[in-house]
């Protein structure tokens, strides 16, 4: 027997087990019984002629042959999915499935981009994942999403990254905070403040590490909260100040529930980027959405930033960049 006799069903089952590293979790995802999953893997190993998994204690791991099989299995499955989408469109079904991930920091401004794209491309189905930067990179690696949108990307040759829009970040406080009505605040003064931070691995935390390392290194009183909404509520309650994207606090600033501090050198401008795995063959709908972001994303996502409830426009953002 040779691996060329393997079936697509066996490859899909294997890819799921390889990604989950669990027969039981793979069975749940595939809506199969665990014995059925084990049987598919056994048949595939018979075709391959080598073991694809090894068990150490209660955990399973990919063998070297298994790792190689997993890489090719994902490529084969991806190709079949692309063929399926093309054939569906040739049969008169419009659109396709757009599988995209967006960092939490973009969750406030990005939906209108997706809404505009779907308005122009009726019938497009959407699978949207929202998470921190590290989670989205994991999803790209696992081929669970086609594209990811974030402001901070690691130096990784496996990623193909292109910029498409500016993303301003600001420092916020409660309106009654002593710094709220100060002008031209020195960055050194922030070091003595109680800061509420996003978690390590998040886009916002990475943006602060790159943009305000001098402030971050001086902080002695910090709290990590892995949720932007919870951070805003904590700041409103007076538990500290924080560093967030301007788009995330726009409504609260307009309602005077939050104040954007007038810190020298802020807002910090980072570039929103669209990322995909190097060598990834995008579906037609993913290609169209990426082109849409690169051509029109900056114009559609642009909104005035705010300082102490006062709007300042793109010229100010550009001057701070």
Return per-residue pLDDT of the chain as tens, 321 residues.
Answer: 566 778 889 999 999 999 999 999 999 999 999 999 999 999 999 988 999 999 998 899 999 999 999 999 998 888 888 777 666 654 434 557 889 999 887 877 788 888 899 888 888 888 999 888 889 999 999 999 999 998 888 777 789 999 999 989 999 999 999 999 899 999 999 999 999 999 988 889 988 998 899 999 899 899 999 989 999 999 999 999 999 999 889 889 999 999 999 999 999 898 899 999 998 888 888 999 999 999 998 888 765 445 444 444 443 333 333
As a dihedral over the C-alpha atoms of residue 241, residue 247, residue 251, residue 253, rounded to 10 degrees, the angle is 40
d(CA 141, CA 70): 12
d(CA 246, CA 263): 14
92-164+271-301 CATH pick, 3.40.50.12160, 1.20.1290.10, 3.40.190.10, 3.40.50.300: 3.40.190.10
Helix axes 34-48, 23-30, angle to 10 degrees: 110
Q: Residue 303: CB partners within 8 Å, gap ≥ 6?
A: 109, 247, 250
d(CA 302, CA 282): 27
The structural domains of the chain, with segments of one domain joined by +, span 3-89, 92-164+271-301, 166-270+304-320
Q: Is the dihedral of CA 178, 179, 183, 184 positive or negative?
A: positive
d(CA 129, CA 194): 32
**What was the pLDDT predicted at 317?**
39
3-89 CATH pick, 3.30.450.20, 3.40.50.1400, 3.40.800.10, 1.10.10.10: 1.10.10.10
**What was the pLDDT predicted at 3?**
67
Alpha helices, H only, the chain: 8-20, 23-30, 34-48, 64-90, 110-120, 133-141, 187-190, 203-211, 213-218, 228-236, 250-254, 284-301, 314-320
Q: Identify the CATH class of 166-270+304-320.
A: alpha beta
The answer to whether the 3-89 and 92-164+271-301 domains have the same CATH topology is no
DSSP assignment string, 267-284:
SEEEEEEEEEETT----H
């Amino acid at each position: 027997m040779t691996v060329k006799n393997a079936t697509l069903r066996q490859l899909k089952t294997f890819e799921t087990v390889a990604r989950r590293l669990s027969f039981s979790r793979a069975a749940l995802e595939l809506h199969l019984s665990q014995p059925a999953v084990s049987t598919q893997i056994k048949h595939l190993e018979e075709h391959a002629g080598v073991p694809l998994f090894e068990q150490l204690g209660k955990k399973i791991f990919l063998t070297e042959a298994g790792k190689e099989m997993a890489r090719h299995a994902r490529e084969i499955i991806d190709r079949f999915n692309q063929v399926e989408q093309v054939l569906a469109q040739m049969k008169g079904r419009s659109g396709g499935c757009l599988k995209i991930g967006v960092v939490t920091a973009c969750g406030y401004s990005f939906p209108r981009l997706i809404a505009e794209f779907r308005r122009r491309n009726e019938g497009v189905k959407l699978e949207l994942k929202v998470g921190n930067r590290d989670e989205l990179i994991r999803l790209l690696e696992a081929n669970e999403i086609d594209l990811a949108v974030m402001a901070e990307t690691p130096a990784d040759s496996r990623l193909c990254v292109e910029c498409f829009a500016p993303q301003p970040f600001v420092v916020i406080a409660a309106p009654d905070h002593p710094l709220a009505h100060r002008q031209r605040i020195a960055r050194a003064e922030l070091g003595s403040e109680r800061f509420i931070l996003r978690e390590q691995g998040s886009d916002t935390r990475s943006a602060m590490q790159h943009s305000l390392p001098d402030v971050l290194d001086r902080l002695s009183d910090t709290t990590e909260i892995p949720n932007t909404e919870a951070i805003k509520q904590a700041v409103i309650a007076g538990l500290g100040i924080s560093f967030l994207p301007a788009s995330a606090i726009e409504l609260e600033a307009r309602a005077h529930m939050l104040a954007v501090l007038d810190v020298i050198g802020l807002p910090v401008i980072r570039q929103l980027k669209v990322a995909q795995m190097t060598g990834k063959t995008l579906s037609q709908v993913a290609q169209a959405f990426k082109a849409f972001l690169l051509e029109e994303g900056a114009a559609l996502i642009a909104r005035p930033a705010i300082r102490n409830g006062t709007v300042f426009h793109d010229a100010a953002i550009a001057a701070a960049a």
